[in-house]
Chain A
Amino acid sequence: MSTVANLYDNGPISPIVKIDEKVAIWTRGKWDYFNVDFIEGMPRGSTMAVEMITAAGQTTLAANAAIAKRVVAILQLDDFEMFHLRWEPVDDVEGVLWEQAGQARFATRNTQARVTRFTHLRDPYLAATTFYVLGRDRDMNLEVRNPNPVAIALARFAFWGYRYKLTSLPSKPPVVTYLPAEGR
């Protein structure tokens, strides 16, 4: 098994492979093999950000309240595409990552890590926030929590990283980079 590199390197985000290299992605409980046909950057910006209060059809998020996990439409893909992203809240809210609606990410048996406005203070490139979205209808879900004892009007989250275009391979290639994209 080749070395897994760049997945969570504590530096600026960079592609985990080069174009025309092979990846093995842990999905649906097994390794699936793909050729990487194309990679492009998805820089942080106004169209790679979402305001979750509006997205949830609310006008404010009450003190210490939460927005139930919901799909973030800007991160939805077609089949044979993969997002490789990092993220953070722009406002003082906490983000909880779910893989689709049922699988907690950044989670152990007893806790689930949240990404907050404090996260970047010790992880300046937000490497530990790295996650992947593979293909259509395998969306990420984002739950939002307001830790403040006052209502807030904005709960913005920014995302950035890379989009990969993939071709499925029928069998394991001789050289491959392994990517544990799913949490199960």
Chain B
Amino acid sequence: MGLRKAGNQGLVTTTAGPDLCHAIPVGRSFIIRKILAYNNTGVDETLIFGTQTNVAGWVPLLPTLLAVDGIENIWTEADLPPVVFQADTTAGAGTTGNALVQASGINLLIQIEVEEIGLEGD
């Protein structure tokens, strides 16, 4: 039981590099609960959600998702494993815990919903 909110980077347009979707608040962790991706690039694209090391190394945390061209692609809580994004511990020490998306193409529109868990242990 946590705090549901939209990713704090808002609507993200992919650049085919890791693009920040949600910056983690100090003392909190979070789980991605929903992903919306509109693909109007003309071809199917892939998305991988993960985090970064403190020196910007890529750390995938969710399996590759296929964003089919020409439609809105939606993954909800029922589809997504509850991977906890947390600084330093999710993928070992030295990770930021921020959520980023690595898309195979540019100009996909992405928005995520996260459930943040606070210091309160909720």
**Chain A residues close to B by CB (< 8 Å):** 64, 92, 116-119, 121-122, 147-150
Please measure, in the bound complex, the distance between the C-alpha atom of A43 and the C-alpha atom of B74, giving whole angstroms. 40
> Is there contact, CB below 8 Å, between A149 and B122?
no
> Is there contact, CB below 8 Å, between A147 and B8?
no
**Chain B residues close to A by CB (< 8 Å):** 1-3, 5, 8-9, 23-28, 118, 120, 122
CB distance from B100 to the nearest CB of A (A): 14
Can you give 19 A-B contacts (C-beta < 8 A)?
A64-B26, A92-B5, A118-B2, A118-B120, A118-B122, A121-B1, A121-B2, A122-B120, A147-B26, A147-B27, A147-B28, A148-B23, A148-B25, A149-B23, A149-B25, A149-B26, A150-B8, A150-B9, A150-B23
Which residues of chain A have C-beta atoms less than 8 A from B120's C-beta? Answer: 116, 118-119, 121-122
Please measure, in the bound complex, the distance between the C-alpha atom of A118 and the C-alpha atom of B2, giving whole angstroms. 7
Q: Which 7 A-B pairs have the closest CB atoms?
A: A149-B23, A118-B118, A150-B8, A121-B122, A118-B120, A147-B25, A118-B122
> Is there contact, CB below 8 Å, between A148 and B8?
yes
Please measure, in the bound complex, the distance between the C-alpha atom of A150 and the C-alpha atom of B98, giving whole angstroms. 12
Please measure, in the bound complex, the distance between the C-alpha atom of A147 and the C-alpha atom of B23, giving whole angstroms. 11
Please measure, in the bound complex, the distance between the C-alpha atom of A121 and the C-alpha atom of B116, giving whole angstroms. 12
- The closest CB in chain B to the CB of A149 belongs to B23
CB distance from B21 to the nearest CB of A (A): 12
- The closest CB in chain B to the CB of A151 belongs to B8
- The closest CB in chain A to the CB of B120 belongs to A118
Which residues of chain A have C-beta atoms less than 8 A from B1's C-beta? Answer: 121
CB distance from B109 to the nearest CB of A (A): 19
Which residues of chain A have C-beta atoms less than 8 A from B9's C-beta? Answer: 150
CB distance from B2 to the nearest CB of A (A): 7
Which residues of chain B have C-beta atoms less than 8 A from A116's C-beta? Answer: 118, 120
